């Protein structure tokens, strides 16, 4: 019975995530397009309004064979990919937090939905940065605000230890986590300032601010180190395999790697500083 309940709950949480992912696609496509977030969805090619049957997450895309039911225009694979990733992230948050709607109290429920909202924002940032090589300020601000709210909530609930042990054997007061956002954003902001935006975008500094509040100082540093490590591998592969189209001056979106590092720390509680030093 316990396993059956877990499977059913996991399916329901995944389904909820795909529904949120469907709305997330609307936000991603309409951001920066001059079109508001309100109003019914319509085909981007023929402009006809979509019915409810055409908006069922995942199923509508494959039932229509990836084409608009009106004009037959091919639909972007972004739709099912974002919906699938959104559902998977909801399941990930459920697994990490141990949320159970039948037994969890207000505190556990609040943590689950705050974490889920943060990961939906990070998914939107990832997709938008891959498409446009820029992080919208509204996305970065939303992430920072949600992370700050989560940090304060953890602090208020007494879930942060008064001190935590560093790799040097010293103890740092927990208030360092409260200023972790600006501390981690500062190096990125300086890179942006002194390079004139050629080395690093200012959006990455804003993203690092949210990561600091979301994971705390130690977790945030670990996520950033992991981001540089994971970004190095595909960069070298592209450099050697596509020398004509890809050079040292080519622009690579860094936000997806920062978010990948954040995901690794969030799921496995990785402490790179302790490993390395």
pLDDT for position 164: 45
Residue 169: exposure state from Cβ atoms within 10 A (0-12, 13-18, ≥19) = exposed
pLDDT value of residue 166: 43
8 A C-beta contact, residue 72 and residue 65: no
Q: Name the band, by pLDDT with cuts 50, 70 and 90, for residue 169.
A: very low
User: How confident is the prediction for the chain on average, in pLDDT?
Assistant: 86
Q: How far apart are CA 231 and CA 59, in angstroms?
A: 34
Pairwise CA distance, residues 112 & 13, whole Å: 11
What percentage of the chain has pLDDT greater than the value 90?
55
Model pLDDT, residue 142: 97
Q: What is the C-alpha to C-alpha distance for residues 3 and 50, in angstroms, rounded to an integer? A: 38
Give tens-digit pLDDT for 191-239.
999 988 777 889 999 999 999 999 988 899 999 999 999 988 877 777 6
Is the model's pLDDT at 171 over the cut of 60?
Answer: no
Which of 275, 208, 262 minimizes the C-alpha distance to 89? 262
Domain positions in the chain are: 1-104, 136-277
Quick one: tokens of 113?
């939905």
Question: pTM of whole model > 0.85?
Answer: yes
Distance CA 67, CA 163 (A): 56
* Residue 98 reports pLDDT greater than 80: yes
* H-helix or E-strand spanning residue 178: helix 175-178
Q: In DSSP terms, which residues pair with 165 in a beta bridge?
A: 171
- Please give the DSSP secondary-structure letter assigned to residue 198: S
Q: Say yes or no to pLDDT of 161 above 50.
A: no
Rounded to the nearest 10 degrees, the angle between the axes of helix 106-132 and helix 255-268 is 150
Query: What does the pLDDT average to over 256-273?
Result: 93
pLDDT digits (tens, 9 = 90+) for 76-95: 999 999 999 999 999 999 99
Please tell me the predicted confidence (pLDDT) of residue 1. Answer: 47
Is the pLDDT reported for residue 163 higher than 50? Answer: no
Distance CA 238, CA 246 (A): 6
Residue 216: CB atoms within 10 A of its CB come to 22
Query: Is the pLDDT higher at 160 or at 67?
Result: 67
- 34: buried, middle or exposed (CB in 10 Å: 19+, 13-18, 0-12)? exposed
Task: Give yes or no for residue 243 having a pLDDT over 80.
Answer: no
pLDDT of residue 205: 96
d(CA 117, CA 16): 12
- Interatomic CA distance for residues 202 and 185, integer angstroms: 9
d(CA 67, CA 101): 37
Q: What is the pLDDT of residue 167?
A: 40
Least-confidence region, from 64-68, 115-119, 156-160: 156-160
Percent of residues, the chain, with pLDDT higher than 70: 88
Q: Is the pLDDT of residue 162 over 60?
A: no
Q: How far apart are the first and last CA of the chain?
A: 46
Helix (H) or strand (E) holding 107: helix 106-132
pLDDT tens for each residue of 45-76: 787 888 888 889 999 999 998 998 889 889 89
């Amino acid at each position: 019975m316990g396993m059956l309940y877990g499977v059913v709950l996991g399916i329901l949480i995944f389904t909820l995530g795909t529904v949120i992912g469907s709305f997330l696609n609307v936000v991603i496509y309409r951001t920066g397009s001059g079109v508001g977030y309100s109003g019914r969805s319509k085909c981007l090619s023929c402009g006809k309004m979509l019915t409810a049957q055409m908006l069922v997450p995942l199923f509508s895309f494959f039932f229509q064979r990836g084409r608009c039911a009106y004009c037959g225009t091919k639909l972007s694979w972004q739709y099912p990919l974002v919906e699938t990733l959104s559902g998977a992230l909801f399941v990930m948050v459920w697994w990490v937090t141990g949320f159970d709607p039948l037994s969890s109290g207000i505190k556990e429920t609040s943590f689950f939905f705050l974490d889920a909202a943060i990961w939906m924002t990070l998914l939107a940032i990832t997709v938008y940065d891959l498409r446009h090589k820029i992080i919208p300020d509204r996305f970065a601000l939303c992430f920072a605000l949600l992370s700050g709210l989560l940090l304060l909530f953890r602090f208020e609930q007494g879930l942060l230890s008064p001190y935590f042990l560093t790799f040097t054997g010293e103890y740092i007061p927990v208030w360092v986590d409260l200023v972790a956002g600006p501390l981690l954003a500062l190096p990125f902001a300086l890179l942006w300032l002194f390079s004139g935006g050629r080395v690093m975008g200012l959006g990455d500094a804003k993203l690092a601010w949210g990561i600091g509040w979301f994971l705390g100082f130690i977790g945030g540093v670990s996520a950033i180190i992991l981001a540089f490590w994971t970004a190095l591998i595909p960069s070298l592969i592209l450099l050697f395999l596509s020398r004509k189209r890809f050079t040292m001056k080519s622009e690579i979106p860094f936000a997806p790697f920062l978010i990948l590092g954040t995901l690794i720390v969030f799921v496995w509680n990785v402490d790179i500083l302790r490993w390395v030093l």
